[in-house]
Amino acid sequence: MPLQTDVDITPAGQRPDEDPSLAVRNNGGTPPSADPAPSGRREALLVLGFGGPEGPDDVMPFLENVTRGRGIPRERLLDVAEHYMHFGGVSPINAQNRALTAAVEREFADAGVDLPVYWGNRNWSPYVEHVWQQMADDGIEHVYVFPTSGFASWSGCRQYHEDVARARSVFTGAAPGGGPTAEKLPHYGDHPGFVQANAEALAAALASLPEDLRDTARLVATAHSIPDTMAAVAGPDGGAYQAELLRSARLVVDAVVPGRDVDLVWQSRSGPPSVPWLEPDVNDHLRALAAAGEKAVVLFPIGFVSDHVEVVWDLDNEARETAEELGMAFVRAGTAGTHPAFVAMVRELVEERRSGTPPRLGTNCPAACCFVRRPTGLRRGQEPSPA
């Protein structure tokens, strides 16, 4: 069942966009350090995901949990529920995060990194609040948080800081003061491991096209659309969501076919049509490409780390159908998943923080970074996450 938590994570008398920042508060009141981790501190890694239903009976409670406070009509939730029912009511995302967690555990063991690995979710079991209590009970003193979203924005970065703050505020029975301190790992869209995983997937997708289409197929990167207002405040100076995604897409393409054009488009938008979101939508872009005479397209979902429902349904079903209607050859590249380079990247990000380096964006985010003022009463998951 949905976890009912409506805690105020901002101290009395402080605005959410004022210092001390979430990063500082989650780290026990001090900024994430540039010094090596203290010797003997009991540490862990938490893989923090979005969550998803594990069976048909979970689907509607999960969607109600995600959208609570947004006033989404039940009819709309029933429509979305049908997407999950095509997969037996089971979201692929939980199995994928279990697989990633297991792969990271093996990577740590092989590299001699003595850290336990936990997995928790924002919107479904295992809830991050419960996992935080478990880590406290296990004697963990400090947690490195790996989010399953590698880019700036409220839903892609700041909300993960909020998840940690909420977890530290809710379950303190065995851990007075909020339990372990924590620091979120930095943005990783330009990390060589993420780039390699996506580049190899793009190369395989291109190779699957008929030979006479490979050199001319349009390369299209996709990411979760977000409201224009959210995009405008992403990162310390705004606009970082699009900028980071464009850089990541460029690095991936240049690793496969240097200098070739790449488009960045958006998918999976929700919310009322009256609210502007990032455009163009992937299906609209496919129509524009066909009208311009393009014969083939390769989509690579650079904004996602696994093949969950928004990738498999929105791209493999809806976008593929659009391309077929337009007479375009279509192929979709895989996501990073448990690619060895991506798994090694997680270890490298942890080792970067433990070894003593200046914290990068995503770890020591300024107080106002990605802050979106929301109406009173909205709760967890009130905007979709590109996770």
224 is an annotated ligand-binding site residue: yes
Cis status, amide bond into 53, omega within 30 of 0: no
Residue written as token pair 């690793």: 255
Report CA-CA distances (Å) from 285 to 95, 263, 292: 31, 9, 11
**Which 3 state secondary structure label does DSSP give 69?**
coil
* First-last CA distance in the chain: 21
Amino acid at 70: R
In angstroms, the CA 248 to CA 242 distance is: 10
Q: What is the DSSP string of 259-272?
A: T---EEEEE---S-
Q: What is the DSSP letter of 54?
A: B
Residue written as token pair 């070739």: 260
In angstroms, the CA 285 to CA 253 distance is: 19
Our CA angle for 198, 331, 213, nearest 5°, is: 105
129 is an annotated ligand-binding site residue: no
Which strands form 218-224's sheet, in the order they lie side by side? 263-267, 218-224, 296-300, 329-332
294 is an annotated ligand-binding site residue: no
Q: What is the DSSP string of 311-376?
A: HHTIIIIIIHHHHHHHT-EEEE----TT-HHHHHHHHHHHHHHHH-----TTTS--TTTT-----T
**Pick from 213, 234, 325: nearest CA to 278:** 234
**Pick from 385, 306, 348, 301: nearest CA to 97:** 306
Return the structure tokens found at 307. 């093949």
188 is an annotated ligand-binding site residue: no
Specify binding-site residues.
91, 160, 224, 310
Q: Residues annotated as binding site for Fe-coproporphyrin III?
A: 91, 160
User: Residues forming the annotated binding site for Fe(2+)?
Assistant: 224, 310
